[in-house]
Amino acid sequence: MSIDSIFLIFLLVCAMVSFVWEKIPTDQTAITIFAIILLAGYLPIFHNFPTADKLLSVLANPAPLTIAAMFIISAALEKCGVIESVANRFSVFAQYGYRKFLFVMTLSVAAMSAFINNTPVVVVFLPVILSLSRKMDIPASKLLIPLSYASIFGGCCTLMGTSTNILASGIVQKAGYAPIGMFDLASVGVPLLIVGSLYLVLLGDKLLPKRETLTAILSEEERREYITEAFVPKSSAVTNHSIEESGLLKSKGIRVLEIIRNEVAMKGNRNKIKLLEGDRLVLSCRPSGLAHARQVEGFDLAGEMGLGLETIAAHEGSIVEGVIGPRSTIAGKAIKDLNFRQRYRMILLAIHRRGINLRDKVENVPLEFGDTLLMMGTDNAIENLRRNEDILLLDRPATAAISMRKKRPIVLSVLASIIVFSSLNIIPIVAGAIIGCTILFATGCIKPKEGYDSIEWSILILIYGMLGVGLAMQETGTSDLISNGLVNVVNSTISESMRPYVLLALFYLSTAVLTEILSNVATIVLMAPLGLGLAASLQVNPQPFIIAACIASSASFSSPIGYQTNTYVYGVGGYKFRDFLKIGLPLAFIYFLVSIIVIPAVWAF
């Protein structure tokens, strides 16, 4: 093994540790590894690392550009209300019971996800499914994992179904093979869709948990909280004393949300701040706490002064759940740094993340994609927040974009044209996607800025970084080293006729495990070149290995972190990690069995 391969394997191990550790964003890890490989090409100790010109050639790969264009097209479909229109028609199926509703939902979501980016489909369907679950008196946790899985089912059926398929096609084309056709994956994707749907319908009710939503952690008294203000008048007994010293917090039914001095909210530990004349305290009180606050000397309550008391009650729609969306600008920022209440006029009660309800010191918690927030506010504040993309409210289905309905035929025609022209090999999918985006911009279906904002740039950075890693693996011979090692092990133990099948099974399993640990994008970029190397070592057709990589890297069922839509429903449904293992592991095994049977039958070695 050369020093080049040893160093590159070390970099790969470091990258995987970083991905699993999750302290550093995956795109930052990928671009850092890319930079190190770039630097290694200039060091005399390394002989086979790609030169700068060769490494930077990955930026010319058409796959990331295609993926960026598909983000824009999906955003246009969402903006014009196409996804909402389909989602809002689901109420008619609620009367047929859980299993029939689940079957229709799975097939419908899968059909849309075959041609649209998975995340906006799940984002739009979430509040609809939550609303219908209440109407059907079924826990939302019985429907949200199937919602995410259905989007994965559909993504495995077409070239444009997921970014991993587009990436795999670009990698094999770069290697000199024919690209994946628009519906090539359907030969295995459709049988998997049917089997997966039947699995959810027949066993979902038994395997899926009954989990409380975030709102359910509130007691009945907590649902009747009030927001009021307390003033520190002249000659008050609490002047130069902290809130703790004032006795205001002796009741558990009072929380101090803010101390405002000279129209500015004070920072720091509010309970330790020395109060001055004219200070204004914003309080959240339960009924028992409100009674206690009236008895504390040194404060004048706003309600007692005739300034009004604002009632916050769940049945009035003033306690709502929201989720941090994929294009949120507040992800990564702590509540205390956002001036959350001033920004949104809402009070944060709790955060749900990865199966845990966080209720203490939430102001210090950096927000993450998929976090579910429990908030309290007035109806006006909630309606204002509803128009903000930072937090997507889950209290009711979104209102259809009526003003954009006239643009729907244009968006649907663009999408259909891309599918048809790419399927008939008239123009490559990258050309069709770029032309389609241009038409959408020119016709006003989506503004250029909105389109650019819809692109998940972190995913593109991750892709380019991992493409650099893949190129380095080929240039340094690391891919051949790994593939030849696997082939030699199999050759020594397996008969010649069975070797391709055994290697395909091992390759699928390795890819499936990696995609649960890393992201699906990082996995496909690492495994697709390895699949080509295995096929070359065996001197067989590489298509079975590439198709297996596409399916295995998308079929992330056993973990809430392997696939973005799983992460998204994780907090909303109140799931725990083990819930995904319980229903996802058997499904992943079913996908494995069906894939290793169907793939060699369709794409012969």
pLDDT digit string (tens) for 271-288?
Answer: 788 888 888 887 766 655
Please compute the mean of the pLDDT values over residues 517-546 and round it to a whole number: 87
pLDDT tens digits, residue range 1-59? 788 889 988 988 888 888 877 678 888 888 999 999 999 888 888 888 888 888 888 88
Please compute the mean of the pLDDT values over residues 242-246 and round it to a whole number: 81
Q: What is the pTM of this model?
A: 0.78
Could you tell me which residues are beta bridge partners of residue 352?
357, 372
Residue 438 has pLDDT above 60, yes or no: yes
Q: What is the pLDDT of residue 314?
A: 31
Provide φ and ψ at 285, rounded to 5°: -125, 135
What does the alpha-carbon distance between residue 82 and residue 108 come to, in Å, rounded to a whole number? Answer: 13
154 vs 235 pLDDT, higher one: 154
The string of DSSP letters for 143-162 reads THHHHHHHHHHHHTSSGGG-
- Are 364 and 267 contacting, i.e. CB atoms less than 8 angstroms apart? no
24 vs 591 pLDDT, higher one: 591
Residue 128 has pLDDT above 70, yes or no: yes
What does the alpha-carbon distance between residue 579 and residue 278 come to, in Å, rounded to a whole number? Answer: 52
553 vs 481 pLDDT, higher one: 553
Q: What is the pLDDT of residue 15?
A: 86
Best CA proximity match to 553, nearest among 585, 519, 529, 577: 519
Q: What is the pLDDT of residue 189?
A: 94
Residue 22's CB: how many other CB atoms inside 10 A?
A: 11
Q: Exposed e or buried b for every residue in 503-530, given b needs 16+ CB within 10 A? A: bbeebbbbbbebbbebbbbbbbbbbbbb
| Alpha-carbon distance values, 94 to 89, 104, 134, 387, 508 (Å) | 10, 10, 10, 28, 38
Residue 117 has pLDDT above 50, yes or no: yes
What does the alpha-carbon distance between residue 161 and residue 419 come to, in Å, rounded to a whole number? Answer: 11
Residue 313 has pLDDT above 50, yes or no: no
Helix (H, G, I), strand (E, B) or coil at 348: strand
Residue 179's CB: how many other CB atoms inside 10 A?
A: 21
Residue 312 has pLDDT above 50, yes or no: no
- Residue percentage of the chain with pLDDT more than 90: 22
How far is C-alpha 347 from the geometric centre of its chain's CA atoms?
25
Q: What is the pLDDT of residue 151?
A: 93
- Are 524 and 166 contacting, i.e. CB atoms less than 8 angstroms apart? no
Side-chain-side CA neighbours of 484 within 13 Å: the count stands at: 7
Q: What is the pLDDT of residue 304?
A: 40
> DSSP assignment, residue 400?
P
What does the alpha-carbon distance between residue 560 and residue 93 come to, in Å, rounded to a whole number? Answer: 28
Residue with tokens 């095994």: 589
Token digits of residue 557: 């069922």
- Local confidence band at 303 (pLDDT 50, 70, 90 cut-offs): very low
Residue with tokens 């998997």: 192
- Local confidence band at 362 (pLDDT 50, 70, 90 cut-offs): low
Q: What is the pLDDT of residue 381?
A: 78
Helix (H, G, I), strand (E, B) or coil at 219: coil
- Are 49 and 4 contacting, i.e. CB atoms less than 8 angstroms apart? yes
Q: Which helix (H) or strand (E) holds 352?
A: strand 347-353
Q: What is the pLDDT of residue 263?
A: 72
Helix (H, G, I), strand (E, B) or coil at 356: strand
Residue 349 has pLDDT above 80, yes or no: no
Please compute the mean of the pLDDT values over residues 495-511 and round it to a whole number: 88
Best CA proximity match to 155, nearest among 196, 124, 127: 196
Q: What is the pLDDT of residue 82?
A: 79
Sign of CA dihedral 444, 447, 448, 453: negative
Token digits of residue 300: 């004048």
Best CA proximity match to 166, nearest among 404, 467, 420, 426: 467
pLDDT tens digits, residue range 395-431? 665 554 456 778 889 999 999 999 999 888 888 889 9
- Local confidence band at 583 (pLDDT 50, 70, 90 cut-offs): very high
Determine the angle formed by the axes of helices 564-572 and 118-136, rounding to 10 degrees.
30
The burial class, CB within 10 Å (0-12 / 13-18 / 19+), for 379 is: exposed
Token digits of residue 134: 């209440």
- The amino acid at residue 228 is T
When the pLDDT of each residue in the chain is averaged and rounded to a whole number, the result is 82
What does the alpha-carbon distance between residue 26 and residue 459 come to, in Å, rounded to a whole number? Answer: 9
Provide φ and ψ at 542, rounded to 5°: -75, -15
Please compute the mean of the pLDDT values over residues 98-124 and round it to a whole number: 88
What does the alpha-carbon distance between residue 310 and residue 225 come to, in Å, rounded to a whole number? Answer: 9
The burial class, CB within 10 Å (0-12 / 13-18 / 19+), for 89 is: exposed
The burial class, CB within 10 Å (0-12 / 13-18 / 19+), for 593 is: exposed
Q: What is the pLDDT of residue 399?
A: 56
Sign of CA dihedral 407, 120, 210, 347: negative
> DSSP assignment, residue 378?
-
Token digits of residue 502: 């055994």
Residue 562's CB: how many other CB atoms inside 10 A?
A: 25
Q: Are strands 264-265 and 226-231 parallel, antiparallel or unpaired?
A: unpaired
Q: What is the pLDDT of residue 216?
A: 53
Provide φ and ψ at 393, rounded to 5°: -75, 145
Q: What is the pLDDT of residue 571?
A: 73
The set of residues, in sequence order, having a beta carbon less than 8 Å from that of 234 and lying 6+ positions away, is 277
Best CA proximity match to 547, nearest among 596, 474, 590: 596
Q: What is the pLDDT of residue 481?
A: 83
